[in-house]
Amino acid sequence: MAIAAQAPDILGERQSGQDVRTQNVMACQAVANIVKSSLGPVGLDKMLVDDIGDVTITNDGATILKMLEVEHPAAKVLVELAELQDREVGDGTTSVVIVAAEFLKRANDLVRNKIHPTSIISGFRLAMREACKYVEEKLAVKVEKLGKDSLVNCAKTSMSSKLIAGDSDFFANLVVEAVLAVKMTNARGEVRYPIKGINVLKAHGKSARDSYLLNGYALNTGRAAQGMPLKVSPAKIACLDFNLQKTKMQLGVQVLVTDPRELEKIRQREADMTKERIEKLLKAGANVVLTTKGIDDMALKYFVEAGAIAVRRVRKEDMRHVAKATGATMVSTFADMEGEETFDSSLLGFADEVVEERIADDDVVMIKGTKSTSAVSMILRGANDYMLDEMERALHDALSIVKRTLESNTVVAGGGAVEAALSVYLEYLATTLGSREQLAIAEFAEALLIIPKVLAVNAAKDATELVAKLRAYHHTAQTKADKKHFSNMGLDLLNGTVRNNLEAGVIEPAMSKVKIIQFATEAAITILRIDDMIKLMKDESQNEE
């Protein structure tokens, strides 16, 4: 008689097989359903209230998901997916989550029909490769063909689903101007557009259309003292990351003083050390000093006397951008190898002028004519905080999209055109395969249609009819050589018709679509692979000993 081996006691619960898969898919569907209604030019916004009552109104997929505290481990994969898309491309965060959830739903149905997850995964991988190849070879259009308008159109497409869609003409031009202003060529001779050099400042009051571009990098703080000059040119900038306050003894240092006069000397020396540091800065030629920490009122008088501008409590992020743009080096200590304190003039950055200006009710310090990369600032105006925050998020997406378009130089038609074309193409491809992957690829093709479907539903149009029309056009485009231009057919959601979106100016960078497909597939595969979930409980008995 065989004795069953005693299973080790796992403290916790274990679920395996189909249960886990269904549970994971349900969790991902739930996350996708939250962002679903915010997709497209007529998408709706979400109002998120956090635990302390702060309100955020947005329809940016990544922002919504970041603010939801998602507990479920599989659903967390989708949240990370949206963040990844945000980092890599900057826009398309809602689409990527919806597509990934749809892939999962379809894959789960296949598994239920006794198709092994491994076959599905290899089918999805094959479909992803083919889809990306098809986008790059057949659907992508070079930007040169479309001219500068294409950049404005890309920005408008990106903004169409956002709060500022009504003023998208105005903002799109603003965005394109800002991105072109920070153009630079790196050491390898590649042209790059570091959009981090575009600082976005928000100021209350006036209407959104009163927003404008300023040439120069704006710091959201004023001068440290009123006696300082309003303008310094040419500017030599020192970027510091330490306190210019009276140096205090380090903790744990004990000084035994027998004579009270000695105490006064120690105090004097503490004050002098800061003075010496400031003199070193001024001697090196610095006439603008930015620090992330504080500057003592005692120390400010030295700057006032020298006619230099000092700015305290500059945000670290701003400091890094200023250092990069002016060619300065951020200094966190004056100490050198010999234990002496020195400051070399090679650490200074250069700009044509540094000037304090008044914007709305705030003083800002503008750094103009920076040396290594040019910097611009966007000053956003708007009625209230929520609007300004949402404008900033929308502009971040638009700036990223214009940058990607310029760097990759290829665009595709938007409004569900790419997804419909891929769906038709992959469905045909699936029928040419005689392997198990056929079913997975057919489902992959079907899943891509979720984008035009959701777009149509959000626009209160008949999704079934529109998607059917769209597929008919794309089928014609791929079977008849003289109807190639039909491959740019996408949805016109305001009128509820199908039109050529490339001509209508609804375009997106090809790279954005490729990344959406790649990331969504990878995320779906990651979750599909899971067939066992073990939740461990804390072992109580050990705590009692």
The residues annotated as belonging to the active site are: 60, 93-94, 397
Q: Could you list the beta-strand ranges (E) of 441-496.
A: 489-492
- DSSP per-residue codes, 38-83: T-STTPPPEEEE-TT--EEEE--HHHHHHHS----HHHHHHHHHHH
Strand 507-509 with 309-311, pairing: unpaired
Tell whether omega for the bond before 234 is within 30 degrees of 0, i.e. cis.
Answer: yes
DSSP designation for 495: T
Burial 277-290 (b: 16+ CB within 10 A, else e): bbebbbebebbbbb
Sign for the CA dihedral angle at 123, 126, 132, 135 comes to: negative
Radius of gyration of the chain measured on its C-alpha atoms: 29
3-state secondary structure 345-366: HHHCEEEEEEEEEEECCEEEEE
4 sits in the region (left: phi over 0; alpha: psi -120 to 50; else beta) called beta
Other beta carbons less than 10 A from residue 348's beta carbon: 23
Nearest-angstrom CA–CA distance, 440 and 123: 5
Chain centre distance of CA 41: 20
Cα 294 to Cα 314: distance, rounded to the nearest angstrom: 9
Separation between Cα atoms, residue 456 and residue 461, nearest integer Å: 5
Please give the Cα distance from 500 to 496 (Å, whole number).
13
Distance, in Å, from the CA atom of 472 to the CA atom of 390, rounded to the nearest integer, reads 38
CB 517 within 8 A of CB 128: yes
Q: Give CA–CA dist 354/234, Å, rounded.
A: 8
